[in-house]
Chains A and B, each alone.
Chain A
Amino acid sequence: MALPSYAGPGEIVWYYSYRVVCGLIFVFLIMPILVVIPLSFNAVPFFTFTPEMLSFDPAGYSLRWYKDFWNNPQWIHSLQNSFIIAIFSTILSTSLGTLAALGLSKPYTPYKAVIMGLLISPMIVPLIISATGMFFFYTSIGLAQTHLGIILAHTALGTPFVVITVTATLVGFDQSLIRAAQNLGASPPTVFFKIIMPLILPGVISGGLFAFITSFDEVVVVLFLADFDQRTIPLQMFSGLREQISPTILAVATILVLISIALLTTVELLRRRSERLRGMSPQ
C-alpha cells in the first residue's frame, strides 16, 4: 500500500499518522515481553531499571537470578515436571488427534459437525470449569495428584489443536493418492506411513507443538490436580507471583520466552514449507 502519486496533503498526513499508530500498537504487543529480558539481569532485587542499568554500567547487571533458579531444587524439579508432562501429553494428543482428523476428513463420515464440535470443546470450555470437572473426576478414580492424571488432563486440552491443524492440512490432501497406492498393492499401514504421513507431517508437527505449549503453559488444571510433587513451572510462577515476588521469576520468564521463540520459528518454517509445497501442487 504505497502512497499513490496523486495523494493530497491530507492523505499524506493520514498515511503517516496511520503508520505511527500501527507502530505504537506493535510496541504495545511486543514491549512487555522485551522489557522482562533485560530486567532479569538486574543486580538488585527490584522490578525496575536501576540507574546503573540505564547507564550500561556492568555492575548493574548480574546473573544472580539465573543462578538462583539453577540452584533452587524446587524450580529444577518443576522444570522436569513441566517437560515430562508436556512431552507425554503431546505424544498422546498428537496420535489420538491425528487419527481422528484422518477419520473426519473422509468424505462420507456421518455426524461430522457434531463430532467436530465435541472434539473441539476442550478448547472452548473455560479452563476453570474444565479444571473443576476434572478435579472431581480424577479424584474419584484416584488419579488426582499423580503425573498420569495431569498428563491425561493435558492430553484432553491439547487434542483440539491437533485436530484443527491436521484437518486444515488434509483439506489440500488428494484422496486419490490413497486409492492409487492401494491399487498398486500397498497395505493400509504402508499407505499410512509411506503416503499419508509424509504429506501431512507439517500439520502434525505444528499441531503437536500447539499441544506441547498448551500443556507446558497450563496452570489452572495443574492448580487443581497437582500436589507438591507435580508442581510445574507455570504453577511455581503463579504461586510465586501471589506470594513472594522475586526477580527469579523474571529469569524463568526469559527462559520461557526463548523456548517460545524456538517453537514459533519451527511452526513458521513448517507453515511456509507446506504453503510452498501446496503452491506447487496442481490445485
Chain B
Amino acid sequence: MAEATVDQSDIMRTADGTPLKVSIGRAMRRNKLIAMGLIAPLLIFILFSFLIPIVDMSLRSVDNSIIPRILPNTIVALETWDGQDLPPEEAFAALAADMTAGRESREIGKVATRLNYEVSGMRGAVMGTSRKISKVKEGPYKEALIKSNKAWGEQDTWLLLKRLSGKYTFGFYLNAVDMKYDVQGDIIAQPDFRQIYVDLFIRTLWMSLLITGMTILLGYPIAHLMATLPLRYSNLLMIMVLLPFWTSLLVRTTAWIVVLQSNGVLNDILVWVGLVADDARPQMVYNQIGTIVAMTHILLPFMVLPLYSVMKTIPPTYMRAARSLGANQFTAFVRVYMPQTVAGIGAGSILVFILAIGYYITPELVGGTSGTLISNQIAYHMQSSLNWSLAAALGAILLGTVVALYFIYNHIVGIDNMKLG
C-alpha cells in the first residue's frame, strides 16, 4: 500500500494532470490509427482484387463439387453399396434420374468432362447415355443403361463414381505430379505416355537455374566495371543496362526472334563470315536455346542492379591495401573483393530465379516445344484443355515455390531494400 502511494505522487504528469504514460499512449494510438488509415485503402484493394482471387484459384485445385452437385441421388444411392459386383437397381434408377435432370439443366456436360479427366472415353459414355436415357420413362433402368453404353455394366465405372462422391479431392495434385488414383482409390503412377509434369517441373527448375547462372556470369563483370569507373562513364553504361529494362518485353522478344531465326541477322552474319554453310543454318530459336538466350537478356538488368549497388559500397582502398600487402591481383580479387559481393549475388540470384521460374510470354513465343516452362502448361490448361482444376493445382505448386523463395529473399535482403533503377 505504502509503495503505491509513493508511486502516485512521483508519477510524471502533463500540464493538465494526466499521467505522461497515458498521454503518450494516447498520442501513439492516434498516430498508429492515422498510419493504418493511410495504408488501409491500398491494403483492402490488394486484398480483394489480388490476394483473395489467388486463394480462391488455389482452392479450385481441390474442388470436386461437380459430381455431388449434379449427381446427388446417385451419390446417396451408392453410399450403401459395398463395392462388390454391380450396385443395386436403385443406384441405376438414381443415375438415370440425375442424368435426365442434368440434361434438362444442361449441366451434364460438366460431369462428362470431369469423368473424362479420370478415364478417357467417359465423355462419350455420359453424353450418349444421357441422351438415350431421357427417353426411358420406366425401369428396370439397369438393363436400359447397360444397353445404351456398356461402361455402366462395369464395376470400375461405379467405383469411380463412388470415389468422386466427396466434395474435395486431392486428385488434381496427384495428376500434377504424374500420379493418379486407381479404381481401388490407391495412388499409382500415370502411364508412361501421360507422364509430363514432373519432367516439366524439373526442366523449369534447371532452366531457371541456368538462366540465373548466365546472368551472374554476364552481370558480374559489367557491374564491377560500372562500380569502379568514374561516375560520368558509369552513368553512360548504366543507361545501356536500363534501356533494355525499360523496353517492352514484347519488343525484346521480337528482337530476339529477328536476330536468332534461321533467316535472321545472326545466321546471316555467320554465313557471311563463313562459319556455317548456307544450307546448314543452326536452329537457334523456337527451342531451348531461344528461351535461354532471350530470358538471360531480359533478366540481366535484375542481376546487374543489385550487384552494382553492393559493389558501389566497397571502398577501392581495400583492393589497394590487399595489393600492397603482397597479394597478386587474382588473390586480392578472390579473397578480398568477392566475399563482399556475396550479398549482392544472393539478392540478384533469388530475384532472377523467382522471375524466371514463372515466366510465360517469352517461352511461349521463342520456346517452341522444348523450351516451354510450367507456366505455359498452366496457360494451356486454362485456355485450351479447360481443365481449370489441374491448372490451379499446377499453379498452386508454382506459387508455393515462389512464396518460399520470396520469404528467403525478404529474410536476406529485405523487400524495402529492393533497387529499381
Which A residues lie at the B interface, using CB under 8 A?
Answer: 1, 11, 14, 18-19, 21-22, 25-26, 28-33, 35-36, 39, 46-49, 96-97, 99-100, 102-104, 106-110, 113, 115-122, 124-130, 132-138, 152-153, 155-156, 159, 161, 163-165, 167-168, 206, 210, 213, 216-217, 219-220, 224, 234, 237-238, 241-242, 245, 249-250, 253, 256-257, 260-261, 263-264, 267-268, 271
The A interface, classified by DSSP as helix, strand, loop or mixed, is helix
Shortest distance from the beta carbon of A55 to any chain B beta carbon, whole Å? 14
Whether the Cβ atoms of A137 and B49 lie closer than 8 Å is yes
- Are B246 and A263 in contact, CB atoms less than 8 angstroms apart? yes
Asked whether B375 is an interface residue with its Cβ less than 8 Å from the other chain, the reply is yes
Residues of B within 8 A of A206 (CB): 421
Which are the 8 A-B pairs with shortest beta-carbon distances?
Answer: A126-B358, A103-B38, A137-B53, A32-B255, A133-B53, A1-B228, A103-B39, A100-B42
Taking a contact as CB atoms under 8 Å apart, the answer to whether B49 and A153 are in contact is yes
B258 touches A219 (CB 8 A): no
26 A–B contacts, CB within 8 A, in A order: A28-B218, A29-B244, A29-B297, A35-B255, A36-B254, A36-B255, A47-B264, A48-B265, A49-B265, A103-B36, A106-B35, A109-B36, A115-B43, A116-B416, A118-B46, A121-B46, A124-B403, A133-B54, A134-B49, A134-B50, A138-B53, A153-B49, A164-B415, A224-B382, A260-B247, A271-B421
- What is the CB-to-nearest-CB distance from A199 to chain B, in angstroms, rounded to a whole number? 16
A136-B402 contact in complex given A118-B51, A219-B250, C-beta closer than 8 Å:
no
Is B325 located at the chain interface by the 8 A CB criterion? no
- Assuming the contacts A35-B255, A242-B365, asked whether A109 and B35 have C-beta atoms less than 8 A apart, the reply is yes
Which A-chain residue is minimally distant from B44 (CB atoms)?
A96
User: Given the complex, which residues of B lie within 8 Å of A155, measured CB to CB?
Assistant: 45, 49
User: What residue of chain B has the Cβ atom nearest to residue A138's Cβ?
Assistant: B53
Would you give the shortest CB distance from B259 to chain A, in whole angstroms?
A: 5
User: If A110-B32, A119-B46, A217-B248 touch, does A129 touch B398 (CB 8 Å cutoff)?
Assistant: yes
Beyond the given pairs A238-B365, A260-B247, 7 more chain A to chain B contacts, judged by CB atoms under 8 angstroms and listed by A's residue number, are A14-B329, A29-B244, A35-B265, A48-B263, A108-B31, A219-B361, A260-B248
* Nearest chain B CB to A151 CB, angstrom units: 11
Which among A21, A137, A165 is the interface contact of B52 at CB below 8 angstroms? A137
B182 within 8 A of A: no
Complex: A116 Cα to B417 Cα, angstroms: 12
Binds A, one of B109-117, B187-195, B235-243: B235-243
Q: A1-B229, A35-B265, A129-B358 are in contact. Are A253 and B43 (CB under 8 A)?
A: no
- Alpha-carbon distance A121/B45, docked complex (angstroms): 13
- Distance in Å from the Cβ of A237 to the closest Cβ of chain B? 4
Q: Which of B251-282 contact A (CB under 8 A)?
A: 251-259, 261, 263-265, 268
A136, B410: Cβ atoms under 8 Å? Answer: no
User: Given A126-B375, A219-B250 in contact, is the A133-B354 Cβ separation under 8 Å?
Assistant: no
Q: Chain B: which residue is nearest A102 at the CB level?
A: B38
Residues of A within 8 Å of B196, CB to CB, are none
Q: Shortest Cβ distance from B150 into chain A, in angstroms?
A: 38
For chain B, the bracket of interface size reads 35 or more
A90 shortest CB reach to chain B, Å: 15
B60: Cβ under 8 A from any A Cβ: yes
In the complex, what distance in Å separates the CA atom of A127 from the CA atom of B362? 12
Residues of chain B contacted by A264 (CB below 8 angstroms): 239, 242-243, 246
Do A156 and B45 have beta carbons less than 8 Å apart? yes
Contact partners of B242 in chain A: CB under 8 A: 264, 268
Which of B28, B241, B300, B361 has most A Cβ within 10 Å?
A: B361
Complex alpha-carbon distance, A28 and B301, angstroms? 12
Using A109-B36, A137-B52, A271-B421 as known contacts, say yes or no to A99 and B42 having CB atoms under 8 A apart: yes
Q: Which residues of chain B are near A36, meaning CB under 8 Å?
A: 251, 254-255, 258
* Chain B residues whose CB sits within 8 angstroms of the CB of A271 once the complex forms: 421
Selected from B250, B402, B420, the residue in CB contact (under 8 A) with A124 is B402
Cβ-defined contact, A241 with B253, below 8 A: yes
Minimum CB distance partner of B238 in chain A: A268
Q: Which residue from A30, A132, A138, A164 sits with its C-beta under 8 Å from B395?
A: A132
Chain A CB within 8 A of B378 CB: yes
Q: B264, A127: Cβ atoms under 8 Å? A: no
On whether the beta carbons of A257 and B360 are closer than 8 Å, the reply is no
- Nearest A residue to B378 via CB reads A128
Question: Contacting B60 at CB < 8 Å: which of A25, A103, A136, A250?
Answer: A136
A122 to B51, CA, bound (A): 8
| In the complex, per-residue mask of B299-322: 1 if CB is within 8 Å of any chain A CB, else 0 | 010000000000000001000000
A261 CA / B240 CA spacing, docked (Å): 11
CA distance A116 to B35 in the complex (A): 13
Structural contact, A159 and B46, CB atoms closer than 8 A: yes
CA distance A238 to B254 in the complex (A): 9
CB of B136 within 8 Å of the partner chain:
no
A23 to B360, CA, bound (A): 30
Could you tell me if B246 and A136 are in contact, using CB atoms closer than 8 angstroms?
A: no
Q: Is the beta-carbon distance between B382 and A132 smaller than 8 angstroms?
A: yes
For residue B211, give the distance in angstroms from its CB to the closest CB of chain A.
Answer: 14
Contacting pair B402 A126 (CB below 8 A): yes
Say whether B250 contacts A234, CB under 8 Å: yes
Chain B residues with Cβ below 8 Å from A237 are 250, 254
Check A161–B420 contact: CB distance below 8 A: yes
Contact check, A253 vs B297: say whether CB atoms are below 8 A apart: no
Note all chain B residues with C-beta closer than 8 A to A110.
32, 36
| Chain A neighbourhood of B34, CB < 8 A | 103, 106
Contact with B399, one of A100, A129, A164 (Cβ below 8 angstroms): A129
Docked-complex contact B46 and A127, CB < 8 angstroms = no
Please, what's the 1-or-0 string for B378-421, where 1 marks a CB less than 8 Å from any CB in chain A?
11001000000001100100110011001000100001101011
Beyond A39-B258, A126-B375, A242-B365, whether A253 also contacts B250 by CB under 8 A is: yes
Set of chain A residues within 8 Å of B365, measured between Cβ atoms: 238, 241-242
Q: Is B222 an interface residue (CB 8 A)?
A: yes
Closest A residue by C-beta to B254:
A253
CB distance from B334 to the nearest CB of A (A): 14
Q: A120-B415, A129-B398 are in contact. Are A29 and B241 (CB under 8 A)?
A: yes
Whole-angstrom distance between the Cβ of A103 and the nearest chain B Cβ: 3
CB distance from A185 to the nearest CB of B (A): 19
